[in-house]
Amino acid sequence: MRAAVTAIASHRRLLLPVLQSFQTSITTNRNRTIVRNIMSEMDPTSFARPRLVTKKVLAKHQREGDGAIVRRCIGRSELKSLDPFLMMDDFSVSPPAGFPDHPHRGFETVTYMTQGGITHQDFAGHKGTIHTGDVQWMTAGKGIIHSEMPAGEGVHKGLQLWINLSSQDKMIEPRYQELLSEDIPSAEQDGAEVRVIAGESMGVRSPVYTRTPTMYLDFSLRPRAQVHQHVPESWNAFAYILEGEGVFGYQNKTPISANHVLVLGPGDGVSVWNKSSKPLRFVLIAGQPLNEPVVQYGPFVMNTQAEIDQTIEDYHYSKNGFEMAKHWRSH
Ligand code: FJE
Ligand code: FE
């Protein structure tokens, strides 16, 4: 039996379909536990080094911008940053609140709407509204000045993630990638649905170009569904629960509820189970760390204090990327 187990294990990929049918025919005999052990080893959905929750933080409400309410996930004191991520807010705005004219330099902002719409206008004449399920992937690079305001009455919600750019990319030309909800690739497997905002999952790939390699997945799990997502070993990863409660890492862990941020430790992938009777929705975000010094002054993120000083000067005198700021105001 030992030899057979070893042989099977070394041919796991080829033999898996055979073994799966084999299992159903053998589970009732007295080799049951052995078969189960083989099967857990064979299970393509488990990882050699599963990522476990190393930190769990409840993102409470705070005020931000002009009267907006945010649950800060990354960027709060307990979770200053998670290289390459600088900040993530779960935001909620109702008029007249919003994020009026402000600059960015040195990183990307990714806005993903969960309810309502946000209208953005920038100093280069770029303007538009993103609605529920849409994504705006904005590479601020050398400089963007814009406003982000609720599109009409009522409550508008979404996630905004700030991804740092490497020193070589901080001063690149600004760029927008906008994806309408219907253009976001999605897939479903046994009650687990994924929307792929960046990277790849369940065999589907996002068209978004990530300058700093990033994975951004929005999972919805029906009761009893589970998901096993590969995440590159060297990347930093976290999850944020939007709705319901989920078991993260190992099957026997205590479920974690909505509005918690979970840092996922080292490993090759993460497993999540919905053991509740309600839907579970969470985002899984991972990125390749830049391992560079970070000096942040509000919406400017550079590598050194000298670069920040330069940025403040550029912004003040409308130069080196802020030229169009001279006579611009949102309307
Ligand atoms: C910003 C204060 C801010 N979280 N979530 C200071 F509020 C902002 C800012 C945002 C923001 C915008 C949206 Cl649409 C969603 C957000 C903070 O605009 F950039 C600085 N520096
Ligand atoms: Fe902004």
Helix, strand or coil for residue 277? Answer: coil
Question: Which of 303, 307, 283, 302 shows the shortest CA–CA distance to 219?
Answer: 283
Structure token digits, residue 197: 């905002």
Asked whether residue 148 is marked as a ligand-binding residue, the answer is yes
Instruction: Tell me, using a 6 A CB cutoff, whether residue 148 lines ligand 1.
Output: yes
pTM equals 0.88
Give per-residue pLDDT as tens, 74-105: 999 999 989 999 999 999 999 999 999 999 99
Q: What is the pLDDT of residue 43?
A: 53
Q: What is the pLDDT of residue 326?
A: 86
Q: What is the pLDDT of residue 45?
A: 61
- How many angstroms is it from 147 CA to the middle of ligand 2? 7
Helix, strand or coil for residue 80? Answer: coil
> Is 224's pLDDT higher than 50?
yes
DSSP string, 245-257: EEEESSTTSPPEE
Q: How far apart are CA 249 and CA 66, in angstroms?
A: 38
Indicate which ligand has the atom closest to the C-alpha of 73: 1
Q: What is the pLDDT of residue 32?
A: 35
Helix, strand or coil for residue 306? Answer: helix
Task: Tell me the average pLDDT across 216-224.
Answer: 98
Alpha helices in 154-304 (DSSP H): none
Report the chain's mean pLDDT, rounded to a whole number: 89
Instruction: Tell me, using a 6 A CB cutoff, whether residue 110 lines ligand 1.
Output: no
Alpha helices in the chain (DSSP H): 2-10, 12-26, 32-42, 305-316
